[in-house]
Every structure is written in structure tokens, then in C-alpha cells.
Amino acid sequence: MPPKNLLLFIFVLTSYALFSQEDRITKKEVLQLLNSSDSCLYKSDYKNSLTFSRKALNFALQLNDNDLIARSYNTIAGNYEEIVEIDKALEYYDKSVYHFEKAFNDTLKAAVYNNIGNIYFYRKKDFEKGIQFYTKSVEISEKINNIYSIVLSKLNLTSLYFENNQYNQGIIHLDYVEKHQSYIRIIYVKSYFHILLGKKFQHLKQYEKAELNFKEAINIGEKNNSKIYLSDSYHDYSKFLFAIGKHQEAYTFLEKHQFLKNEIFDLEKIKNVKIIGMDIALDESKRELSAINKEKNLQSENLKKTKIIVSLILVFLMLMLFLLYILYRNNIFRKKINDFLEDKNEELKIAKEKAEEASKLKTQFISTISHELRTPLYGVVGITNMLSDEHKELADSPHLNSLKFSARYLLSLVNDLLQINKIEENKVVLENLTMNIYDEINMVSNSLSFIANRNKNKVVTIIDESIPDYLVGDKLRLSQILMNLVSNALKFTQNGEVIIKANLEKRDNTICFVKFEIEDTGVGIAEKDLSKIFDKFVQIDRKEDDYQGAGLGLSIVKKLVNLFKSEIFVESEEGRGTKFTFTIAFDADMSKVNEIINDIKVDLSSDMVYKVLVVEDNKINQMVTRKIMERNNFKTVIVDDGYAAMEALSKEQFDVILMDINMPLINGFDTTRLIRKKGITIPIIALTAFAKDEISEEAISAGMNDVLIKPFEPSKLIYSIETLVKRKMD
């Protein structure tokens, strides 16, 4: 068994460090624990030594103090070495070196290398490796100039060389120690030094010196009760005694050595130590495991985080992709819609242009047709009237009556068409005239008495007496509405009753809301047709040979009522009758009424004889106009065109000129301009089949005084002539 006391140096080292370190209280405590552990190890009390070093290691780890960790591992390794758990001892020494390196503690690193050298030397008998570690230790110690540490390593090297019978090599190192023996402060090291000196002198056969040194070593050991050291000292001294032939004495010391050795390596102790050792290993494993777990947790947490981040990124990417897709789809959709709308817009533009063109054409067409139709109709109606006037015997002729009826029907159709057209083009503006509701209703009922009689109907008029006598409103349009509704009521009723009612619904200051009701007991209208009857050209259940209307009447009525800013309602029951209702607001402000009345300067009592120049190219019209004039005792000169008119004017004096507009050679406007140029100021009345609004502006600018639309009421023409001539004379 090789000497083992060199291990003690290490413990002395760490314990020694305790006194040199004045650190935080906790660190101090750790060092105290290590000190206790070292003390126990000196006494071979491995159990307590390991308990202390284990505690110290736990504290050191908590403090994360590499120096303390390294010291703890070193002590633990020392214990394992002592109980001959070599591999474990090496494992802990390695850890110790690792932590001393981290703590930059070269002194203790050198010490641990020393201890590792011991293991290779004593335990593994690997002298080469032993020398390597001792030499490393010496090198480090030399670097930091730690003589004491060099002394320790050199002592070990000496021991190794002696053991390997390389005495000369060993003596070189031992000489160094002898020179520096003052550095040896620890008693056990001194004892070991003496053993080696004993061996040296034994080798050099200087037996006295050798014995002295061996005895000195034993002396130190016995004084200090160091069992390991003493055991080895007894052993080496016994070997020396044997070598010098003192066999008896040698045997005594060998026994002493054996006794101590047995005591030291008491099996029970080893068992206890092993248990503690196992605890330490367990602690170590636990620590490693918890470190691994920590690492694992950290990793799994990182992984989780990474997973979450990756999932979030994925979700985000998917969302972005989805949004992109939607955007893309929307874009395509929008583009399609845009293209579609553009196409439609283009189509609509074209359609609008076409519609406008068509509407223009329609207006022109209606205007032309009305013009073209009205002129001959004017003739037809006029001639028919003349015929019945001149040939009284024909008064009952069914042919003549039929002719009259047809001509009138055609005229009313043309007029209706013209009116609708005008309303639709917003050309109709209501006029403010003074009116009396009773007169208007009476006029309507009287003028329709013929149809009433024909269908054997009774017309009843009920007029609210609270309606003021004078109202301001467009009586012509009102009578037109009533005329249409009452004539319909009479047409669709046989042997029944038609009631015309006017009630003052409410009064708002001067504004009177008059509610009109036209009710009949006729055929009625089916519910399904009620919504259609106000449309244009709608006739329900009409017989083909019936010329009573073109289906425009109600459509005109609705438009006229709307012009009055009102609405018309219908209630009907088939077989029982129909009721139309509408309310119109009239102003009953007397000052306005008076104003209007004062504006009318008419003297219808005049029986003046005027001389009239008629400029007209149409022979029938010439005849009709002449007839009207003659019936009023006006003198008439008729010319065919404008130039003839100029000639006539240069020869004769006239009171008034009736001028056709549409004439060959020179039209009415230009003729009027020529007349005015000559300085002739007599009134000129335009007689035209054009709608009034279309020509009135040009007529006035050409110098005309009034415009009458053909066919006109003869009385209207007379009224106009008288007014203008009288005004001229005034």
C-alpha cells in the first residue's frame, strides 16, 4: 500500500484558504463547511467529511461560486480516493479542475493536478501519467511563483521516482524540497518529507540518517494522531528495519501498521461512506437532471413560443393570402362590373340619345301632324257648319250629323294629343283668371246636356254655398278636367244619374281647398283595371264602332290635376257606378280677384263695322273666315299671299289684318315685317295651326299683335279683333 498522506496537502490547502478569504458571510459559511469536511477527512471520518462537503457543494452551487464549487468537488474527490473509488475520484477532480479554471484559481488548480497525479501514481500505477500531472502542477505553481505548491508536487514526484526505483531522479526533486523546507508549514507534510528523506538515505546506505528521519516521521505522526500518515510511516520504517536486518523490530512496526490500516479501512465505515457517496451521486444526478429539465423546459417553452409565433405567422400569412385573394377577386369583379357598367353606360347614352332623338321626332311629328290635320279639319268643321246653316233642310240629315260628329271627334283627338304632348314637355303653365265655381260646373253640365239626354241620364250639381263667389285659378284647365270626367260619367251610364259635387274641404287664410266629386251610377270599372285607366290610350271593354274617345281623357285629367299640385282618386264598383275625387286649392283673395277683373277691358257691346284684310292661301279656310267675318258684319278682303296683301294695303285702308303664317311665296312673319316696314300700324292677328307657344315669340317680334290657333271659336276671333282695334283707336 503506497503512502497516502500527500492527499492531506490538498485539504490543508483549501482549509488554509479559509483564513485568507474574507468574503460574504455565506461564502464564509461554505468555507467553514469545507474546513470541517477537511478535518473529518484527516481523521478518516469519511461519512462526516462527505456530509460537510456535500452541503458545501449545494451552497456553492446556489451561490454560483466557481471557486467554492471547485473546492467542494476537490474534497469530495479526496474522500472517494480514500475509499478507493478511483473512477469517481477522478470524475470529481476533473470537475474541480474545470471550476478552478473558471474561477482563475491557479494555486488550487495546481493542487488538484497534484492530486490527480497521485491517483495515477498510487492507484493506477500509471507512472507516466502521474509524472505528467505532477509536472503540470509544478509548471502552474512556478508560473505563479508558489514555492509551497512546488514543494508539494516535488515531494510527490520524489515519491514516484523512488517507488519506480529511479532514485537519482527522485533525489533531484527532493534536493529542491530540502533547500526550500522552510516553506513546509504543515506538520504532516514535514512527516512525509522525513519519510522520503529516510528512503533517500536508506538508498544512499546512510542508515543512521535514514533511521533518524523515519523516527522523526513516526514521532510527528504519533504526536498528531494522524492514522493514515502514521500507518504509512510504520510501514516504511518496518521496511527499512527489515532491510537493515532488524527483523524483530521490523515485524513489530509492520504489526502496528497493519493494526492502523485495519482501523482505517473499517468495512462499516466504507459502507456508510458508500451510502453517503450514493447520496452525493444522487444529488449530482438530480442536479444534472434538473439542469437537463430546466434546459428541456426552456427549450420546450422556446419551442412553444416558436410554435405560437410560427402559427401566428401562418395564420397571418393565410389571412393576408385570403385578403389578397378577396382583393384580387374584388378587383376582377369590380373590373367586370366596371366594364359592364361602361358598356351599359355607353348603351344607355346611345339609348338616351336615341330616346331624345325619338322624343324630338315625336314632338316634331305631333306638331306637324297637328298642323297638317288641324288645317283641313278646320275646313271640314267650318264647311259642315256652313252647310247646316245654309241648308236648313239638312239639319236632320244623319249623314251631315255623322260628318259633323266625325270631324269634331278628329278635332278633339288632335287637340288631346297636342295637349298631352305639351303637358309632357312642361309647356303648360297654369294661368290666374277669376272664376266662379258655379258658372264653371254649370257650363260643363250644359255643354254636355246633349250626351246626358242621349243616354237618358240626370245630371245633378251640388255646390257648397260656403265656396266664395270669386276665386283665382285656371278655369280653362279646371273646366277641361270636369268636362272629361263628366263626359266619361255620362258616356258610361245609361238611365242613371251623374252627380257633380263641389265642397269647401278646408280654408287656410285666403286659400280655399275645393273638393270635387264626379259620381255616376254607370257600368263601373273592374278593380283590376282601376290602376290602368289613367294610362294613355287605355280603353276598357271598348266596342270597335264606338268613337267616344281615344283613351286619352283620363290621362289628360291626371296630368292636369297634377299641374294643380293635386291628385285624383277613383272608387268604383262594377255595375254600380264610379266616383272620381280631387281637391284643388284656389286663392279667394279679393284684392287679387279685383286686380284681375280690372285688367280685363272688354266691350262686347260694340257693334262697330270693321274692314278686315284676310291673308290666307287655303281656299276652304278663306271661306270659313269670310263667313265668320260676314256674320259679324265685318267687311272682308281676301288675298292669297303676302305680296297681294301689300298691294291691297297700298290701295285701301283696313282696321285689322288676319294673317296666315304658313303660306307659299312669303310667310306670315315676313309679310308682317314688310307691312310694319311700310309704317302700317294696324293690328295684325296671326291665324295658325301651329301650337301657340311655338310661334308667339316670333309673331310678336315680327310685329304681330295676337295669335289665334285654328280652329278657333269665332267669338274669340271677334273678341280679339274688337279689343285690338279699340286699343288702337284709344
Establish if 410 lies at the interface with ligand ADP (CB under 6 A).
Answer: no
Q: Which stretch binds ligand ADP (CB under 6 A): 196-204, 374-382, 553-561, 689-697?
A: 553-561
Cell numbers representing residue 85 in the block: 473509488
Residues whose CB is less than 8 angstroms from the CB of residue 694 and which lie 6 or more positions away in sequence, other chains included: 367
Residue whose beta carbon is closest to ligand ADP: 549
By C-alpha distance, which of 83, 50, 55, 81 is closest to 68? 55
CB of 524: closest distance to ligand ADP in angstroms?
6
Binding mask 237-266 for ligand ADP (x = CB under 6 A): ------------------------------
Locate cell 517507488: which residue? 163
Cell numbers representing residue 531 in the block: 290602376
CB of 405: closest distance to ligand ADP in angstroms?
15
Establish if 137 lies at the interface with ligand ADP (CB under 6 A).
Answer: no
Q: Rounded to an integer, what distance in angstroms lies between the CA atom of residue 81 and that of residue 118?
A: 10
Q: What is the dihedral of CA 329, 333, 335, 340, to 10 degrees?
A: 170
Count residues binding ligand ADP (CB under 6 A).
Answer: 21
Restricting to residues 40-69, name those near ligand ADP by CB under 6 A. Answer: none
Cell numbers representing residue 446 in the block: 250644359
State which amino acid sits at residue 185: R
Q: Are 74 and 114 in contact (CB under 8 A)?
A: no
Name the residue nearer to ligand ADP (CB basis): 431 or 574.
574
Which residue in 90, 428, 512, 554 binds ligand ADP (CB under 6 A)? 554
Establish if 423 lies at the interface with ligand ADP (CB under 6 A).
Answer: no
Q: Rounded to an integer, what distance in angstroms lies between the CA atom of residue 521 and that of residue 492?
A: 9
Name the residue nearer to ligand ADP (CB basis): 283 or 571.
571
Name the residue nearer to ligand ADP (CB basis): 478 or 699.
478
Number of C-beta neighbours around residue 685 at 10 A = 21
Name the residue nearer to ligand ADP (CB basis): 533 or 637.
533
CB of 607: closest distance to ligand ADP in angstroms?
41
Restricting to residues 270-289, name those near ligand ADP by CB under 6 A. Answer: none
State which amino acid sits at residue 325: Y
Pairing of strands 511-520, 433-435: unpaired
Q: Residue 151: exposed, middle, or buried by beta-carbon count in 10 A (0-12, 13-18, 19+)?
A: buried
Name the residue nearer to ligand ADP (CB basis): 69 or 554.
554
CB of 525: closest distance to ligand ADP in angstroms?
5
Establish if 384 lies at the interface with ligand ADP (CB under 6 A).
Answer: no
Restricting to residues 564-603, name those near ligand ADP by CB under 6 A. Answer: 578
Restricting to residues 447-506, name those near ligand ADP by CB under 6 A. Answer: 488-489, 492
Pairing of strands 458-463, 497-508: parallel
Q: Are 487 and 448 in contact (CB under 8 A)?
A: yes
Which residue in 78, 549, 668, 683 binds ligand ADP (CB under 6 A)? 549
Number of C-beta neighbours around residue 231 at 10 A = 25
Restricting to residues 503-542, name those near ligand ADP by CB under 6 A. Answer: 520, 522-525, 533, 538-540, 542
Name the residue nearer to ligand ADP (CB basis): 346 or 573.
573
CB of 401: closest distance to ligand ADP in angstroms?
21
Q: Rounded to an integer, what distance in angstroms lies between the CA atom of residue 377 and that of residue 96?
A: 136
CB of 485: closest distance to ligand ADP in angstroms?
7
By C-alpha distance, which of 412, 585, 419 is closest to 509? 585
By C-alpha distance, which of 222, 267, 258 is closest to 84? 267
Which residue in 553, 642, 668, 711 binds ligand ADP (CB under 6 A)? 553
Q: Which residues bind ligand ADP (CB under 6 A)?
A: 488-489, 492, 520, 522-525, 533, 538-540, 542, 549-555, 578
